[in-house]
Amino acid sequence: MKNEYSAKLVFNKRINNDSSLLTFLCPEIASSAKPGQFVNISCSKLLKRPFGVCETDPERGFFSIGVREVGEGTREICAYEPGQVVDVLGPLGNTFPTEGVSKLILVGGGTGVYPLYYALSDAKKSSVPTLSVCGFRGSDDTCLVDEFRDCSDRFIVTSDNGDIGIHGNVLDALKDIGDEDISGSTVITVGPDVMMKRVSEWAAEKGLPCFVSLERRMACGVGMCLVCTCKIKSPKDDHAFYNKRCCADGPVFDAKEVIW
């Protein structure tokens, strides 16, 4: 069973019209979380809400998450004020496989950029060359653009309406990446399923390993309730599949195993 801690909100920074970056004081999470993992945050509703860890500061005991308002629970969490104490379960799930990676291509969409930024920061500490591509609906929807630009060796932003960066989606940006940037890279991607599916197909065409972080409704976060199962290809039969728990067996999976 994972540990549950009390965490105090230190900062609540509004990122855009419906999203906030929340920083909590919790030395236990800050010192143990790894890129790709998530935490469950309490609210007044029955179930905690899951969020990918965006950043950690072990020296000060801080960890951050990005929250978009999509319902009553997330709306409540976005409205938390500094000093609020919450229950946190975690860190939960597995991690991005970044050890031994020589180059990284990071592809994020919407709020998927929050956990992706943690992987980017970790890669920078290890001096791993990075190319980041982040896609949004428009400039009003962006988050962490400046942070990605400062942390990435090369950064591309796209928007559906064309008011920031490339007019199009992340696949439009990936198509223009040269062989020099692609060769020897590992791809990690977080965002809507349709985006991750297309990114994984692009990576397969280029012969690149690709890892995706799946988002599912997670009731318990520790694999007991089986709400967040996802279909994974059987290694013995191309026409068969079996279920894995997104929270306990993931959320990070090898893209070639996922049945979209």
Are 179 and 74 contained in the same domain? no
Answer with the one of 48, 64, 92 that is the final residue of a domain: 92
Are 81 and 104 contained in the same domain? no
d(CA 81, CA 223): 31
Are 54 and 153 contained in the same domain? no
Are 139 and 166 contained in the same domain? yes
Q: What is the pLDDT of residues 168-225, one digit of tens each?
A: 999 999 998 998 889 999 999 999 999 999 999 999 999 999 999 988 766 666 767 7
Specify the pLDDT at position 223. 66
Specify the pLDDT at position 104. 97
Specify the pLDDT at position 158. 97
Element (H, E) at 182: helix 179-182
- CA 209 to chain centroid, in Å, comes to 18
Are 203 and 102 contained in the same domain? yes
Are 72 and 162 contained in the same domain? no
The residue among 222 and 21 whose pLDDT is bigger is 21
The domain that holds 229 is classified in CATH as 2.10.240.10
Are 125 and 190 contained in the same domain? yes
Task: Place 99 in a pLDDT band, splitting at 50, 70 and 90.
Answer: confident
Are 105 and 59 contained in the same domain? no
**244-249 mean pLDDT:** 82
Residue type at 28? E
Residue 237 above 60 pLDDT? yes
Are 205 and 236 contained in the same domain? no
3-state secondary structure of 93: coil
Are 186 and 160 contained in the same domain? yes
Rounded to 5 degrees, φ, ψ at 251 are -80, -5
Strand ranges for the chain from DSSP E: 4-16, 19-25, 38-41, 49-57, 62-68, 85-92, 103-109, 130-136, 154-159, 166-167, 185-190, 210-213, 229-233, 241-245, 252-254
Residue 251: give the domain boundaries.
216-260
What does the block give as tokens for 185? 């890279």
**9-21 mean pLDDT:** 95
Are 117 and 26 contained in the same domain? no
Answer with the one of 49, 76, 92 that is the final residue of a domain: 92
What does the block give as tokens for 40? 């469950």
Specify the pLDDT at position 78. 95
Answer with the one of 47, 72, 92 that is the final residue of a domain: 92
Specify the pLDDT at position 221. 67
pTM check: above 0.85: yes
Specify the pLDDT at position 1. 46
Task: Place 98 in a pLDDT band, splitting at 50, 70 and 90.
Answer: confident
The domain that holds 172 is classified in CATH as 3.40.50.80
Query: What is the chain's mean pLDDT, rounded?
Result: 92
Instruction: Determine the straight-line distance between the first and last CA of the chain, rounded to whole angstroms.
Output: 30
Query: How many domains does the chain contain in total?
Result: 3
In the chain, the percentage of residues whose pLDDT exceeds 70 is: 97
Q: Is 254 exposed, middle or buried (0-12, 13-18, 19+ CB in 10 A)?
A: middle
**221-243 mean pLDDT:** 76
Specify the pLDDT at position 219. 66
